[in-house]
Chains A and B, each alone.
Chain A
Amino acid sequence: MNNRKNLLLIFIWFLIAVAQIALFSNLRIFGISPNIVLAIFSIYLVETVQINRIIINSLVVGFMLDLFSYARLGLSSAVIIILSAIVYLIKKRYFNSFGSLALIFVVVSVDIIYNSLSLLMFKSTVSANIDHLFVSAMFATIISILYILSVRAYGYWQNRELKIKR
């Protein structure tokens, strides 16, 4: 069952990565497109408790990012695993679970740190400067707000269903 679940997760990450390179790479504001894979992974990172699952997914997400860019395989995996471990340790030590603001903070921080490291590693291109890091962070904020709103809407809808049943 666990293996099946892991395979399903790998397939889902693959689909998200494909959507990123073929669909969301066209959504460009100030020359920057949102990194949907990283944003969704950051949300997953905040919401997941098991460290094993976090690390496996970090490995897969990093592999997908490297595969669909022109980077050396393993580079993003290493960065994302380290970031995930840091977020996990902070969560374990200081919080039981993250609230909405903390979720946005983690998603934005992961986005900024990953992009800054990537800029240093691959050097930068015409479309890349510090301002653009903030545009990317803005996208990450919007994605996390959308996630929070959808979770709340889902909760509200479930409560309503329960009330109707009662």
Chain B
Amino acid sequence: MNRRTILIYTMVVVVLFTIPFSVTNTIRSTVKNAISPVLAILYQQSGIVRRFSIISANINSLPKENDQLSAEVTRLLVENSNLKEVAHENELLRNELNISGALSKRKLVGARIISRSAFVFQDIITIDKGSNDGLAVGQPVTSGGALMGKIINVGKDSSDVELITSSNAVTQVQLQNSRTFSILRGGIRGLVVEFIPQDVAATEGEMIITSGLGGEMRQGLTVGTVDRVISQKNEVFQRVSIKPAANISRADLVFIEINE
């Protein structure tokens, strides 16, 4: 290999490296738009592969998980029934006080995951809906009603979603019982809620919801539950690790909330 060839290859890498990120995203979107039908078919056909990984990962814990889920269903049925009563009472009180529905109307757009990042450790997925369906950067993406991530790049017929588990993801959240505002970060330590004052009692199982601060996401989207406090008592703020409510690694179908 002569010097000229080495120089040419180096130049190619340097040129690739200097392409701005916005242009790179456009190239990505264009390529993914072009091949999105193929990606969708392949992703749907990956059921056998997925089943294998689910079986291999969970075969021992299935009976225990089944018991836990049965108990959870019973608890949720009771909670749902109570919430229906509260909603009914809320409706009656609103009517009495002549308060019209203050919440803006939202539309849910369903989308299929068509691919995941080629980089093994990157938590970014691609979905088969884009700007043609009303999607825009920053919109929240949910699965099973719980927050999964937000849109970071939109093409015409496909979009990239950064999952809350990604190290770059920062989400404004709130502890549901104490109403304390804090910040959720993904990363190597797992999902961590930071900047909780030391005098706030964060209990195991407490629900974490989006706070609506920052304006990108509405208030009240379920994020997960408190797992345990991971900070020391002598730290200025508390940090707690949380369990995500959405099944992030196994979701097929996601929903995007769009304000009507």
Contact flags B187-216 to A (C-beta < 8 A → 1, else 0): 110110000000000000000000000000
Interchain CA distance A126-B43 in the complex, whole Å = 23
Min distance, Cβ B46 to any Cβ of chain A, angstroms = 4
Which residues 23-51 of A have a CB within 8 angstroms of B? 23-35, 37, 51
Interchain CA distance A58-B10 in the complex, whole Å = 12
Q: Given A29-B57, A59-B9, A74-B13, do A124 and B49 touch, yes or no (CB 8 Å)? A: no
| List of A residues within 8 angstroms of B124 by Cβ | 69-70
| List of A residues within 8 angstroms of B176 by Cβ | none
Residue pair A21, B17 in contact (C-beta under 8 Å): no
Q: Does A115 count as interface, using CB distance less than 8 angstroms?
A: yes
Residue pair A18, B167 in contact (C-beta under 8 Å): no
Contact flags B14-43 to A (C-beta < 8 A → 1, else 0): 111101010010011001000100110011
Of A75-83, A101-109, A142-150, the one with at least 4 CB within 8 A of chain B: A75-83
Main secondary structure of the interface of A (DSSP, over half): helix
Interchain CA distance A78-B21 in the complex, whole Å = 17
Residue pair B166, A125 in contact (C-beta under 8 Å): yes
| List of A residues within 8 angstroms of B28 by Cβ | 67-68
Residue pair B14, A127 in contact (C-beta under 8 Å): no
Besides A78-B17, A126-B165, 13 other A-B contacts (C-beta < 8 A): A18-B42, A21-B126, A23-B42, A26-B116, A59-B13, A65-B119, A70-B160, A74-B13, A74-B19, A75-B17, A124-B121, A125-B167, A127-B121
Candidates B5, B53, B119, B188; contact of A129 at CB < 8 Å: B188
Residue numbers of B with Cβ under 8 A of A are: 1, 5, 9, 12-17, 19, 21, 24, 27-28, 31, 35, 38-39, 42-43, 45-46, 49-50, 52-53, 56-57, 114-124, 126, 152, 160, 162, 165-168, 186-188, 190-191, 249
| List of A residues within 8 angstroms of B31 by Cβ | 67
Q: Which residue in chain B gives the minimum CB-CB distance to A24? A: B49
Q: Which residue in chain B gives the minimum CB-CB distance to A32? A: B120
A-B contact pairs, 30 of them (CB 8 A): A17-B118, A21-B118, A22-B38, A22-B39, A22-B115, A26-B49, A26-B53, A27-B46, A32-B121, A52-B1, A52-B5, A68-B117, A68-B118, A70-B117, A70-B122, A71-B119, A72-B21, A74-B19, A75-B17, A77-B12, A78-B13, A122-B122, A123-B187, A124-B121, A125-B186, A125-B187, A126-B188, A127-B121, A128-B188, A136-B120
Q: Given A52-B1, A72-B17, A74-B14, do A126 and B190 touch, yes or no (CB 8 Å)? A: yes
Min distance, Cβ A6 to any Cβ of chain B, angstroms = 14
Q: Does A20 count as interface, using CB distance less than 8 angstroms?
A: yes
Q: Given A21-B118, A26-B53, A65-B118, do A74 and B1 touch, yes or no (CB 8 Å)? A: no
Residue numbers of A with Cβ under 8 A of B are: 17-35, 37, 51-52, 55, 59, 63-75, 77-78, 81, 115, 118-119, 122-129, 132, 136
Interchain CA distance A115-B126 in the complex, whole Å = 22
Min distance, Cβ A146 to any Cβ of chain B, angstroms = 15
Q: Given A69-B118, A69-B124, A118-B121, do A27 and B50 touch, yes or no (CB 8 Å)? A: yes
Min distance, Cβ A110 to any Cβ of chain B, angstroms = 13
| List of B residues within 8 angstroms of A19 by Cβ | 42
Interchain CA distance A35-B120 in the complex, whole Å = 7
Interchain CA distance A112-B183 in the complex, whole Å = 33
Residue pair A28, B53 in contact (C-beta under 8 Å): yes
Residue pair A127, B117 in contact (C-beta under 8 Å): no
Interchain CA distance A31-B14 in the complex, whole Å = 33
Residue pair A37, B16 in contact (C-beta under 8 Å): no
Residue pair B49, A55 in contact (C-beta under 8 Å): no
Q: Which 5 A-B pairs have the closest CB atoms?
A: A74-B16, A69-B119, A74-B17, A25-B116, A22-B42
Q: Given A124-B187, A126-B191, do A55 and B42 touch, yes or no (CB 8 Å)? A: no
Residue pair A37, B167 in contact (C-beta under 8 Å): no
| List of A residues within 8 angstroms of B118 by Cβ | 17, 20-21, 25, 35, 37, 64-65, 67-69
